[in-house]
Amino acid sequence: MTWGKKSTPSQRCSLINKWADLIEANIDSLAKVESVDNGKPVWMARDVDIKDSIGCLRYYAGLADKIEGRTIEQEEGIKIAFTKAEPIGVCGQIIPWNYPIQMFMWKVAPALAAGNTIVLKPAEQTPLSALRLAELALEAGFPPGVLNVVNGTGAITGLAISRHMDIDKIAFTGSTVTGRKIMEAASKSNLKKVTLELGGKSPVVVFDNVDIDQTANWVCMAILFNHGQDCCAVSRLFVQETIKDKFFEVLKRKIEEIEIGDPAMETTFMGPLVSRQQQEKVKKYIQHGLEEGAVCLTGGVEKLSHLPEKFKDGFFVPPTVYTNCKKGMKIVDDEIFGPVLAVQTFKTEEEAVQLANDTAYGLGAGVFSQNASQCMRMVHALKAGTVWCNQYMVLSNAVPFGGMKQSGFGRELGIEGLKEYTQTKACAAFCDVQNPTHPHTRVSTQIRPATAGTVRNGVLH
């Protein structure tokens, strides 16, 4: 079922923009809900996640009336062919707990702009903001049944969506393990279309010609933003040997200046992780790093001792940086999804490429160099869906985002994200039906029923 066939593109554009207006009017209350649900600072939810989500809605509202097909040259005046992009139908969408509102919009906005209906499951850890967004969608005027939010666990509700015979597409953001299960369920049901944005173990390569202070700022943000609970978090850092001592010194200082504490405070950069389970998982990886021979530059669980007493039982994990890391260590190979950074050094550009690509994942990567040619060589060499140069995790709603290798397939954002929610229909038409001498007419008459007339010499009379 689609609502695209019962609404015009301009109507969809208007509704999506009205929804964006309502979200903007409720931004402060939504930010508090997001912070309570997820643990991120209120300012981060308000000024980054929700503002970007409003921009995402407006971007796709602008594309709703720009969905186009194309004509294909055939025989002038005789045959014509064209394509049209149609909505897929009912789209199942399963979103993660790290960016509940943002991931909601990355999936819902293009699907609605294309005219699909939606069954969306938020993560069981963070169900509240999705319900509030759905309320605002109804208030904006979306017909009941167009956007449906269904809460539940992944093992029950998520699996039911993946297996449902009347759901035509599934879009999922989450772990690679769960992505495999969704693909299996889709293949064993109705072969629904699938797009997956999965895990990452993103590398950043720092060459010795950089501004060390500025680059350390970027690295600090890239591993600690959202508490490291980001599929693109810089969890592997490669620093050229000639600057390692100075770079480590500056990075350590900047990380230790990060304020950890109450997410309601405007000065807090890191609040608690999303759950006790996630906290325990990250703490185990911190312990693995020590056991496997890495050197702790800063952090470690004991670093939390300075927190006020009221935070002692919270789900906090200190930013932790390990040096002397190598392939085979759990902190190098596994997606941790927390503020833990594994650092290695390299001598040459070729070695940096080999180290950076030595992972099963391929979601994001970063390069810091003042040599533009070197940056472009690295862009071509790194196997990742997005490569940032001299910045990191700076996203635009107009730029497609997605993974390579075991980080998934399909794209979100940009025009590519809209196309993921359409399917192409081709039309081939024969225009010159009154011309009895045309060879196509002569062939077609030979297969008509006898009751349609008499065929003599290949021509219908």
pLDDT digits (tens, 9 = 90+) for 376-430: 999 999 999 999 999 999 999 999 999 999 999 999 999 999 999 999 999 998 8
Identify the pLDDT of residue 458.
Answer: 45
Same CATH fold assignment for domains 4-198+408-424 and 203-389: no
User: Which residue ranges make up each domain of the chain?
Assistant: 4-198+408-424, 203-389
What is d(CA 38, CA 99) in angstroms, rounded to the nearest whole number? 8
Share of the chain above pLDDT 90, in %: 86
What pLDDT does residue 309 have? 74
pLDDT at residue 310 tops 90: no
Q: Helices 100-113 and 51-63 sit at what angle, rounded to 10 degrees?
A: 10
Q: What is the mean pLDDT of residues 253-265?
A: 94
Task: Judge whether residue 30 has pLDDT over 80.
Answer: yes
Instruction: For residue 174, give the nearest of 155, 149, 160 by alpha carbon.
Output: 155
Burial of residue 61, with CB atoms counted within 10 A of its CB: 0-12 exposed, 13-18 middle, 19 or more buried: buried
Around Cβ 293, how many Cβ atoms within 10 Å?
Answer: 11
Which pLDDT tens digit goes with each residue over 39-73? 999 999 999 999 999 999 999 999 999 999 999 98
Three-state DSSP state, 142: coil
Q: What is the pLDDT of residue 450?
A: 46
Active site residues: 197
pTM for the structure as a whole: 0.92
Q: How many CB atoms lie within 10 A of CB 424?
A: 11
Pick the closest to residue 219 from 229, 234, 240 (CA basis): 234
Average pLDDT over every residue of 151-178:
97
pLDDT tens string 194-247? 999 999 999 999 999 999 999 999 999 999 999 999 999 999 999 999 999 999
Q: Is the pLDDT of residue 440 over 70?
A: no
Position 76 confidence tier, pLDDT thresholds 50, 70, 90? confident
Contacts of 258 (CB under 8 A, 6+ apart): 220, 224, 269, 270, 319
8 A C-beta contact, residue 258 and residue 220: yes
Average pLDDT over residues 9-35: 98
- Residue 399, amino acid: V
Residue 447 to residue 443: CA distance in whole angstroms = 7
Q: CA angle 107-113-118, nearest 5°? A: 50
Q: Is the pLDDT of residue 451 over 50?
A: no
Q: What is the DSSP letter of 389?
A: E
Q: Could you give the CA distance from residue 234 to residue 180 in angstroms, rounded to a whole number?
A: 24
Q: Regarding beta strands 193-197 and 295-298, do their DSSP bridges make them parallel or antiparallel, or are they unpaired? A: unpaired
Distances in whole angstroms, Cα of residue 312 to Cα of each of 279, 281, 315, 399: 13, 17, 8, 41
Q: How far is CA 339 from the centre of its chain?
A: 20
Under the banding of pLDDT at 50, 70 and 90, the label for residue 446 is low
What is the per-residue pLDDT across 131-142, written as a single tens digit (0 to 9) for each? 999 999 999 999
- CATH architecture assignment, domain 4-198+408-424: 3-Layer(aba) Sandwich (3.40)
Question: Which contacts of 29-32 are long-range, i.e. CB under 8 A and separated by 24 or more positions?
Answer: 30/101, 30/129, 30/132, 30/133
What percent of the chain shows pLDDT beyond 70?
92
Can you say whether residue 40 is alpha, beta or left, with left for phi > 0 and alpha for psi between -120 and 50 degrees? Answer: beta
Please classify residue 255 by burial: count the beta carbons closer than 10 Å to its beta carbon, then call 0-12 exposed, 13-18 middle and 19+ buried: buried
Architecture of domain 203-389: 3-Layer(aba) Sandwich (3.40)
CA 400 to centroid of chain Cα atoms = 9
Per-residue 3-state assignment (H helix, E strand, C coil) for 12-63? HHHHHHHHHHHHHHCHHHHHHHHHHHHCCCHHHHHHHHHHHHHHHHHHHHHH
